[in-house]
Structure 1
Amino acid sequence: MSIDKTSAGTKLLSTGLKMLQLIDAVADYKNGVGVSELARHLGWSRNVTHQYLTSGVAADWLVQGENQKYSVGFHAAVVARNASPHGRIRPLLLAEMNELVQIVNATVSYAVLDKETPIVIDRVEPNRAIQIRSGLESRFSLRTSASGQVFLAHAPGLIESSVIDSDEEELQEIIRRVKSHGASRVHSRWLGDEIIAIASPVFLRGHCVGALSVIMPAIRSDADAVEAALVACSKSINHQLLNQQNGMSQW
């Protein structure tokens, strides 16, 4: 086992660091990445890269698709779900999400920001068990998705990034709508279907830590009522989190 030492004398496992580096690199490829391309990116040999990728698949941190490309696997979503702060607020979120799904009769999701990409880590569907989806369907565009627009409106640092032009009139209109309505609404395609997606922010300690969203068929005519129910749900969550915070809880 290879071990490196820091200047302070603390021993670090170089193999562990390399595995984490590889997983982080794979996560940057939204459509997956092949062995050769990843090896060039990391500056490793192809054989070493393949060995680490195979180990990642065996541990359920990575998955290999039919196109032979590798993507972040299911276990990463589980860890993200349990990570702070989501792991601590999840019981409250799931209770509210289950109640909301009964009201709107549509899929309710909760997304967090992974670098500059919203990723769904919890989803409740009508008449189905709670489940976590992983893979490409759980990642959305920062600019064109409802959840992404919520993060844009409440995370100024994203607008200042090289990915987003803060001077664009369209972007400013998106932000105005989210802040005035308490939600973002987009018409899009999801898993091949025309849908309406509506998202509203979840706050913890004054920061937007997640986006609660509803996805429903575009043919439905009750989008205004669904949006009102979603906003009411997110406000309820935010109110409960604020009360727990003020009550000197561990949140």
Structure 2
Amino acid sequence: MRFLSETSADGVREQIFSLDVASGELPGVLWTPDGATGPRPLILLGHGGGQHKKAPAMLARAHRFVTGGGFAVAAVDVPGHGDRPTDPEFDRIATENQARVEAGADLASVIAEFQALVARRTVPEWSAALDALSLVEHVGAGPVGYWGVSLGCGLGVPFVAAEPRVRAAVLGLGGALASADEARRITVPVEFLLQWDDERVPREQALALYDAFGSTEKSLHANPGPHAAILPSYELDSNLHFFLRHLL
């Protein structure tokens, strides 16, 4: 793991890093309280499709978790996004999937198939990132939380199911077609976000995913609006308190 740059603003230290993984270099970013020393809980953020590790909403969320709870927060680019190189295989599949959708294929099933394919790469990459971050002095090997909606949910469910270091997860805007089997293996507390008028993930699929979680503590947060609607600010407050309760 190599830190490439460091900046500080509004009480938050931001460090850009690169990590060697089996598929090449994994670009990421770590946010911590400015001047922090010693270990602290870590929250891993999963970005949405077509976005990247430092998308505006990701930055806002990271700063809120750092300043509001003293957490370390990290995010990495998924394949084909952000600072990752283009992937010919994923590009080919995405083009084929677009043709399938235009020919009348069900959008939710196409998305589910693609996310399952990408997750086979991202799950070991994200576990490698946790390994490396646990050795950073101002992060340490403490409890881990996960936050991810849309693509971040489709990739996050199999990751949370496979990663015993994750103690709590905020997930949402995803459906059961992609990851119901993995969801049944998740027993940590879950806060699930749902857009009631989601045109990409049918409501019944989202509710089925929520129902599939094996957690004894889980809560459903439904808000009106389409898939890409901005989540209400009070949901971020709820996410913060959720992580404070389960990670500190």
TM over 0.5: no
Higher relative helix content? 1
TM-score (structure 1 length as normaliser): 0.30
Q: Which has the larger radius of gyration?
A: 1
Higher relative contact order (CA 8 A, sep 6+): 2
TM-score (structure 2 length as normaliser): 0.30
